[in-house]
């Protein structure tokens, strides 16, 4: 997508409702700016109940016909979408970089992972198959089958503006549901482009895919709308809990994926050539704006061994280049906006004021777009304080020193989050003990970002999810359908 040249040329985005692009009824808008330059890209209408109602009613009108469409026909429509997405993957990646800020290499990876989710959803006919048991009593048989819920909504975050909509959309469609997407108001341009590509698939009828724009009012309206059957959400832990409570209060099925504070365990026997680059990518990739970011390094061993890890990490982080995501030489992209930079800088200042040592200070004034923040390492922070325990969502790595693996497990398992954790070691025994004992759903062994491929669930624990069924894999099919059990005598 060509960069918009001036604020005067910035369009106000339309909604995609019932197969048509229509202006929002809401008049209030939010400016969408390139995090690297501050350039105005678009104006985002802050839709509310009226806009949500129009989209949901369009979805409801299309839902019965789509559910009655044979599953193979639905899946082939998703296959055609996969082909389109694959043909436009570079365009989508550049749009992610422009709108969200991440490096182009990272954006290409994001788009690729999203397309993998579409590919995985092509297995839906197999995953939808039921079970039978003959002769449970004389002349009595039992069978199970699954049916779509009806209308499902997805509320997606700014940090993966292309991938996370594609976690939900293909499974929802293949299982026979009509879909309403509400992307983050911070960077909705990739979601808008995905909706445009859906519109090009003639086998997806009008109303089966809808796009609404807005902030909290739109979120609350989706969670409360009587015609919405289920809500999928990804965002912070606090908002995940809000979405879950509001959705459940209004009778919805909810999967709400929340925040994280992921620890990377660095054992004394770990290979530095593997460990240090892995920690850098995990802590500072996408400027730490990932729910799988490793934001705490648990340094295991003697004080001398811990100091050696600290020095290696500080030297590597200091060598990373901060800049615009479109620059191939950039390692650490800007944050989503100046407000995010200010929030993370305040957290660094608070840790320092409370006695922590800022080994490497990335505060640098924000750069051209006001959103740049360099890699920051914090040592000797309060191990139970915010820098060690709360999600900062920025390029900040907190070092926590522990004597052995048991102490590392005990520290990690006191966390209220349970999204992910990784261990760096050359010991199979240490890796096995970590895998068995850690209270987190996605684990890495010598891998800093333990992101499962799309055929497996995104399996956070504790406050990292509200609900029991996760995104992707078999969980997605189970979430978007409900089961019937038939006991019959003929």
Distance of alpha carbon 451 from alpha carbon 169, whole angstroms: 19
Q: Which helix (H) or strand (E) holds 30?
A: strand 29-33
What DSSP string runs through 259-290?
---EEEEE-TTS-HHHHHHHHHHHHHGGGG-S
Does the annotation count 291 as an active-site position? Answer: yes
Closest residue by Cα to residue 371 from 319, 323, 317, 321: 323
The full DSSP string for 220-256 is HHHHH-TT--EEEEES-HHHHHHHHHHHHHTT-EEEE
What are the phi and psi torsion angles at 322 (to 5°)? -100, 135
Q: What is the spatial order of strands in the sheet that 40-45 belongs to?
A: 11-12, 40-45, 29-33
Residue 2: both structure tokens together: 């060509």
Three-state DSSP class for residue 48: coil
Can you spell out the DSSP letters for 164-193?
Answer: HHHHHHHHHHHTT-EEEEE--TTS-HHHHH
Residues in the chain: 490
Residue corresponding to tokens 């929802």: 172
The residue whose two tokens read 């139970």 is: 384
What string of H, E and C letters represents the secondary structure of 417-449?
A: EECEEEEECCCHHHHHHHHHHCCCCEEEECCCC
Q: Given the residues 198, 223, 291, 333, select the one marked as catalytic.
A: 291
Catalytic residue ranges: 291
């Amino acid at each position: 997508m060509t960069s918009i040249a001036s604020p005067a040329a910035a369009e106000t985005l339309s909604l995609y409702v019932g197969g048509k692009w229509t202006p929002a009824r809401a008049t209030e808008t939010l400016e969408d700016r390139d995090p690297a330059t501050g350039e105005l890209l678009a104006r985002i209408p802050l839709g509310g109940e009226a806009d949500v109602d129009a989209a949901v009613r369009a979805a409801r009108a299309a839902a019965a016909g789509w559910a009655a469409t044979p599953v193979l026909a639905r899946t082939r429509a998703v296959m055609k979408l996969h082909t389109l997405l694959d043909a436009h993957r570079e365009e989508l990646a550049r749009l992610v970089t422009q709108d969200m800020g991440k490096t182009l290499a990272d954006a290409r990876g994001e788009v690729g992972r999203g397309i993998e989710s579409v590919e995985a959803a092509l297995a839906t006919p197999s995953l939808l198959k039921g079970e039978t048991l003959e002769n449970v009593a004389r002349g009595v048989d039992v069978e199970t089958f699954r049916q779509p819920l009806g209308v499902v909504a997805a509320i997606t975050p700014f940090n993966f503006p292309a991938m996370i909509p594609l976690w939900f959309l293909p499974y929802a469609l293949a299982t026979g549901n009509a879909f309403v997407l509400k992307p983050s108001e911070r960077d909705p341009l990739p979601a808008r482009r995905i909706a445009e590509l859906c519109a090009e698939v003639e086998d997806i009828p009008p109303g089966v895919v809808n796009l609404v724009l807005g902030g909290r009012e739109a979120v609350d309206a989706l969670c409360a709308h009587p015609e919405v059957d289920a809500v999928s959400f990804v965002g912070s832990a606090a908002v995940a809990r809000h979405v879950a409570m509001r959705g459940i209060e209004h009778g919805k099925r909810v999967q709400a994926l929340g925040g994280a504070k992921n620890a990377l365990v660095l054992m004394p026997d770990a290979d530095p050539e593997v460990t240090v680059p892995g920690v850098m990518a995990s802590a500072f990739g996408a400027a730490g704006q990932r729910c799988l970011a490793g934001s705490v390094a648990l340094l295991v061993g003697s004080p001398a061994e811990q100091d050696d890890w600290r020095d290696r990490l500080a030297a590597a982080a200091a060598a990373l280049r901060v800049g615009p995501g479109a620059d191939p030489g950039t390692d650490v992209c800007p944050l989503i906006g100046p407000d995010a930079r200010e929030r993370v800088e305040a957290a660094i200042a608070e840790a320092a004021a409370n006695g922590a040592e800022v080994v490497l200070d990335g505060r640098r004034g924000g750069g051209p777009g006001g959103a740049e923040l360099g890699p920051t390492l914090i040592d000797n922070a309060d191990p139970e304080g915010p820098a060690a325990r709360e999600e900062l969502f920025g390029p900040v790595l907190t070092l926590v020193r522990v004597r052995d693996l048991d102490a590392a497990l005990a520290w990690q398992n006191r966390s209220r989050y349970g999204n992910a954790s990784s261990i760096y070691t050359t010991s199979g025994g240490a890796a096995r003990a970590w895998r068995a004992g850690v209270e987190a759903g996605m684990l890495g062994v010598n891998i800093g970002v333990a992101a499962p491929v799309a055929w497996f669930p995104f399996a956070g624990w504790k406050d990292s999810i509200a609900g029991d069924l996760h995104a992707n894999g078999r969980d997605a099919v189970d979430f978007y359908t409900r089961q019937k059990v038939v006991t019959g005598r003929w």
